[in-house]
Structure 1
């Protein structure tokens, strides 16, 4: 990667100076242009643009890694992960239980006696400002490289960079919508005018239109292998479009069929491209190390290049592994959480073979205590005695997930034979029995079950519960929301009161104002 630690340090320092200087907190969302991008001293050469694009990817890693976003918001909140009863390092991680019961305010406002929680920076789950920094940076890059002559860039390259910026902007909005629902939306550079929150379906529809218009400007593959999964490609754009369409289908029922059709078409384009493939299940280490042919988009984690999450314990594997995969032995004799056996037995019925059980779990798979381990991200033992997690990427979008989204959309469209064929592609790779059941709700539940198995601990589960409405069903959500809670926004996260600063149009999520 081209982001050196020194340049990243200088870059962040400049950002902090900018944010604390003449462009103070009086502006919309406290967001300002990064690194003085508006000046003629920047965006002069192709290298300036390339460096800035990598900085945007770095900002996304910083934002999503500033707290255990994917672990807590995406997995823990569904309730199928439970606290280990075993004594371990003696520290209090009961925020897992609070999140599973949808009691989120203590995570944002740390209760007395819960000081250990502070190392996880959980209040960042209420702060959308880091995502608006990404959006602002994307908007500025998109605007500046189109309006000036830049040495070394031709028209095709400019369009590719602009498409990357649109992808990262849309991905940021997608993350925000799944966390907070309605959010302020803008695409112009140097935006400072206070805005109200926009309906999330409108935000996603705008993003779908924007990304659809430029997806073809992104490459299918890269000549540089290190870029695979690490930066936006056409497959990543299609995968994100599928996710956004399926999110809207869950909330915009009147237009759901159109979203399903778009998802099915985008999935077909992705599969017919031949740019991505499913690796053998035995090569799971390659898949989750990242940058493989199965990756659509990863958050790059490489400690050798200083590309790490803000805190090591914000990694997805932190909660579900113990010694010898997590060291030192002292304090890591047990996993901090485990997947409830009743849930795993429903996903993996007795007597039905499935290679994922052998590759991703150990012999304590059904142990309702800290002897349980989930090894998707831990195919190698960590060496030494440092308290670190394995240096794997966080997989944001994966080809297998896109195939299952296409299966889901096809089932909703009544194209059940093709939906079954899609699901069986994943089942065949997992060396499990092919689907032989009926259509209708049984098929839809089977596809959802397959997605729960395939994407376990990748940060999708709770968001899939929300968009499909299963968050109100105790079969899928350990502490389900009532329909009234769901309709009143109980599935969202609280929004920091800082969002109200200097913005008379802003409103917080009313569900959490209690």
Structure 2
């Protein structure tokens, strides 16, 4: 792709400016041809969607890291014998370094900016599609902007302190890339406040220009494309992180009341994780059909035929949260004398689809937002929590909790429902909670009080070394 983003990261194989210009000329010709038709635009978009499932993104790192940091996963004791080379320990023990030695997260930053560059490539070249209508161009641009917003949002969750860390989020966020830049352009990090303004602007554009259809149950991965409903669900999540409680509740309600998606029944819930196709509860997924990820989720934290080592295991902290009769407790399976999660199962050398947004989260978002409105709405919060609780266990009694006890139940219900889907540590951070891990065999940093520099990752060394405008996170 043309002008692959450069944020202090050297373009591999580039030895001189003249080399770059030669490459740029060649890729410009390729881009001109690719984007001359709507079919070419679709190919470019499909390539962008494909990279969402890379192991350095939703294919592994985006899911595993918040779970191992937050306490839903622990390292198997036998792994400590090879701790110097075992690349999950930096996340587990909060020992990341700027060099990223023996750290599976070392490529995360670079890959996400690569995905952004692919989305920007579509945005910058969409007008070249001579056979596309204005509506089709706006649709393609909306999809690309929705992806760009989501990826920037995910970057802020790892590399910036949460929104409430300073008043009005006046602390460092990430560099928001509105366009692809030349290799010799240097960029600086924006304030987190500005990051959110840009993320929301991209998503609002997408909401206004995307169609409503997201496909039906059993369809061939139509939910792997951004839709108006997917963008509204993402806006609900973004506003939740921003602590804009009224808009978070508004957008969660839009999704809940839309009718395009519905909750699975109690009987269907556990079985849904054994299916490769998305279900009626899914809103936006990453499609793994035809993809074989190196060390996929099923090999690391789930169930696969090839799994011969127990690297990461569910902790008793999460297992013990499920009451008797809660079908979510059935999502654990004993193999090799250990409990494994059945949320990630291998199908014919590929993982099942990755659910990025599903309807259950919208009920949890509305419940949390309701508890934080200027006029606290505990009735709505209890009602939404009961929907999720009673789906998991129809015999569960209706909640009668209030005050702090209800707040704690909300946190625990999010942990139960969204376990192993990449949420826990982000919830701990954005809620300003102290990290407390009980069933944890880390050698250091088992418990960390908030706020703390360790709640964010370091900007990688190669993003700093060649860019004197790029500021490192404190403590690294």
Residue 188 (str. 1) matches residue 199 (str. 2): no
Counterpart CA distance in 2 for 1:405 and 1:454 is 12
Choose from 323, 327, 347 the match for 2:305.
Answer: 327
Report what 2:8 is aligned to.
Answer: none
Q: How far apart in 2 are the matches of 1:422 and 1:473?
A: 27
Name which of structure 1's ranges 499-508 and 284-293 shifts more when overlaid on structure 2.
Answer: 284-293
| Matched residue, 1:376 | 343
The alignment partner of 2:338 has SS state of coil
Question: CA 1:362 to 1:500, structure 2 compared with 1: closer, same or farther past 3 Å?
Answer: closer
Q: Among residues 462, 471, 474, which one is paired with 1:507 in the alignment?
A: 471
Match runs of 1:281-292 below 5 Å: 281-283=266-268, 284-286=270-272, 289-292=276-279
Matching residue within 256, 263, 269 for 2:248: 263
> How far 1:170 sits from its partner (Å)?
0.5
Are the aligned partners of 1:263 and 1:406 in contact in 2 as well (CA < 8 Å)?
yes
SS in 1 for 2:34: coil
Which residue number in structure 2 is paired with residue 247 of structure 1? 241
1:456 to 410, 419, 423: 419
Matching residue within 316, 322, 329 for 1:357? 329
Whether contact under 8 Å (1:362, 1:372) holds in the other structure is yes
Please say if residues 238 and 267 of structure 1, whose CA atoms lie closer than 8 Å, have aligned partners that are also in contact: yes
Of 124, 138, 161, which residue of structure 1 is paired with 2:107? Answer: 124
1:395 paired to 2:355 = yes
Deviates more, 1:172-181 or 1:99-108: 99-108
CA distance, structure 1, for counterparts of residue 227 and residue 304 of structure 2: 33
Shift of 1:340: 2.7
Distance, in Å, in 2 between the alignment partners of 1:77 and 1:105 is: 16
Residue 83 in 1 paired to residue 75 in 2? Answer: yes
Deviation by residue 1:2-56 (Cα, 9 ceiling, x = unmatched): xxxxxxxxx89x99xx9645886999xxx98995478532311110111111011
How far is the alpha carbon of 1:140 from its aligned partner? 2.8
Unpaired runs of 5+ residues, structure 1, are 1-10, 111-116, 250-258
SS at match of 2:224: coil
Structure 1 pair 176–499 and aligned structure 2 pair: CA distance change class (3 A): same
Aligned residues of 1:63 and 1:131 also touching (Cα < 8 A)? no
Match of residue 436 from structure 1: 399
Is 1:344 equivalent to 2:326 in the alignment? no
Partner of 1:294: 281
Cα deviations by residue, 1:443-477 (Å, 9 ceiling, x for unpaired): 12111111111111111111111111124455799
Counterparts of residues 23-62 of structure 1 (less than 5 Å): 36=28, 39-62=31-54
Question: How many angstroms apart in 1 are the aligned matches of 2:19 and 2:413?
Answer: 48
Quick check: 1:470 aligned with 2:433?
A: yes
State the alpha-carbon separation in 2 of the partners of residues 138 and 320 from structure 1.
Answer: 30
Q: Aligned pair in 2 of structure 1 residues 501, 42: CA closer, same or farther (>3 Å)?
A: farther
Conservation of the 8 A alpha-carbon contact between 2:318 and 2:416: no
1:419 to 381, 387, 396: 381
1:100 Cα deviation (Å)?
A: 2.5
Shift of the alpha carbon at 1:491? 0.8
* Matched residue, 1:482: 449
Question: Contact 1:67–1:124 (CA<8 Å) still a contact in 2?
Answer: no
Paired residue for 2:261?
Answer: 276
Cα distance, 1:213 vs. partner?
3.0
CA separation in 2, counterparts of 1:104 and 1:281? 40
TM-score by length of 1: 0.76
Q: Which of 126, 130, 144 in structure 2 is aligned with 1:150?
A: 130
Cα separation, 2, equivalents of 1:444 and 1:70: 26
CA gap 1:214/1:59 in 2 versus in 1, 3 angstroms: same
1:223/1:122 CA distance change after superposition, 3 Å: closer
* Segment drifting more, 204-213 vs 270-279: 204-213
Alpha carbons 2:142, 2:206 under 8 Å: kept? yes
Matched residue count:
443
TM-score (norm 2): 0.82
CA 1:33–1:398 in structure 2 vs 1: closer, same or farther (change >3 Å)?
farther
Structure 2 unpaired stretches of 5+: 6-10, 161-172
Question: Aligned-pair distance for 1:285?
Answer: 4.0
The answer to whether the Cα contact below 8 Å between 1:107 and 1:122 also exists between their aligned partners in 2 is no
Residue matched to 1:102: 94
Q: Distance in 1 between matches of 2:79 and 2:51?
A: 37
